Amino acid sequence: MLKKNNPIKLIKYYNLINHNLIYNNKAINRYKKENFEISKDKVKDLTILKKAIIDLKNCDLRNQAKNIVFSDGNPKSKIMLIGEAPGANEDQEGLPFVGRAGVLLDKMLAAINLDRTKVYISNIVNYRPPENRRPTEEEIKRYLPFITKHIEIINPKILILLGSTAMNALIGSDVVISKMRGKWIEKKFGNCKTSVIITFHPAFLMRQPAQKKSAWIDLKMIRDKKTNLKI
Ligand code: URA
């Protein structure tokens, strides 16, 4: 047993057993935990979708990747973001946007009071293209039914498309991001009717920081929409 008046031993002991557990006197937010629970069907549908992607046959993307990158965030969220494709860090961890672009994405979300507990994130393709190249037309075509189904399952009220790959895949190949960003587009994906906004991809913003001004306009539009829809 510890002697009462031996602070060094006490510190060592607390380090050993992770003293945060003892000193963290924050109230337990049971409501938040409950709110994170999603309907059984959604869980089931997401599990089935993930398995269908894992079971894809003859897919070079899948065969060359380490991990599937399915999604991150809160499946119960009414805000869904879609990027292009996993990179090396994402492939390693099996989660979207965990590299440098992800750090900027988290900052963009924080600027409008959002974080990964409040949004849901996925990509157009679920495996890393070798050398971080853009997914080809053929690869996008192959994964399109999966991301469309993914949107339908999550059923977001706001859908944020990050960059031109996500935009061209889901809105049309004949549009350019400079004209399309910063506008609300009403769109249906299966049974999901949603307000779509296109903004610049965080990796693009790192290369072209002057475009952050436009991205900030888009973020404010998302913040206002969120307020109007009482999300
Ligand atoms: N870029 C993307 O489009 N998606 C990721 O998950 C990471 C980087």
* 81-106 pLDDT, tens digit each: 999 999 999 999 999 999 999 999 99
Compute and round to an integer the Cα radius of gyration of the chain: 21
Torsion angle defined by CA atoms of residues 143, 52, 56 and 168, in that order, rounded to the nearest 10 degrees:
0
- Write down the pLDDT at residue 38: 73
13, part of any domain:
no
21, part of any domain:
no
Buried b / exposed e across 102-112, counting CB within 10 Å, b at 16+?
Answer: bebbbebbeeb
What separation in Å is there between the alpha carbon of 76 and the centre of ligand 1? 21
171, part of any domain:
yes
**Could you identify the atom of ligand 1 that is nearest to the CA of residue 121?**
6
Buried b / exposed e across 133-147, counting CB within 10 Å, b at 16+?
Answer: eebeeebbebbeebb
Which pLDDT tens digit goes with each residue over 33-86?
545 677 789 999 999 999 999 999 999 999 999 999 999 999 999 999 999 999
Q: What are phi and psi of 186, to 5 degrees?
A: -85, 130
- Dihedral of CA 134/135/138/143: which sign? negative
- Dihedral of CA 223/83/71/138: which sign? positive
What range does the domain containing 98 cover? 39-228
Helix/strand/coil percent split, the chain, to 5: 50, 15, 35
**Could you identify the atom of ligand 1 that is nearest to the CA of residue 89?**
7
26 pLDDT more than 80: no
Residues with CB under 6 A from ligand 1: 83-87, 90, 96-97, 101, 123, 203
Q: Cα separation of 217 and 104, whole Å?
A: 16
Which pLDDT tens digit goes with each residue over 96-148?
999 999 999 999 999 999 999 999 999 999 999 999 999 999 999 999 999 99
Q: How confident is residue 27, by pLDDT bands cut at 50, 70 and 90?
A: low
11, part of any domain:
no
What separation in Å is there between the alpha carbon of 69 and the centre of ligand 1? 10
Q: What are phi and psi of 189, to 5 degrees?
A: -120, 105
17, part of any domain:
no
**CATH no. for residue 182?**
3.40.470.10
Residue ranges of alpha helices (H) inside 65-126 are 88-93, 100-111
What separation in Å is there between the alpha carbon of 40 and the centre of ligand 1? 28
8 pLDDT more than 90: no
In the chain, the number of structural domains is 1
10, part of any domain:
no
105, part of any domain:
yes
53, part of any domain:
yes
